[in-house]
Amino acid sequence: MLGAKMLVHGQVQGVGFRYMAVNIARKYEITGKVKNLMDGNVYIEAFGKAAELENFIKEIKASPFPSHVADVEISYCNTDDPPQRFRVAY
């Protein structure tokens, strides 16, 4: 299964971004996690079928107001043992 590790920069904390990511993940049957980082960025690990994963990434990049995604760093990977669900990590 294809995976993406994403570092999301911009106004992405304190605006409901993590819960928006959970909803987008459910829409595309993506598993993984989303987590706020101490530096104000958000880290996402996402796993799914290639087309669904790309759709997930597109929607993350185009997140609606009040969040604002300035940049997303992405590294792709493969896994044979993806998580069973998408969750907010603390």
What b/e string do you get for 47-75 counting C-beta neighbours within 10 Å, with b at 16 or more? Answer: bbeeebbebbbebbeebeeebebeebeee
| Residues catalogued as catalytic | 18, 36
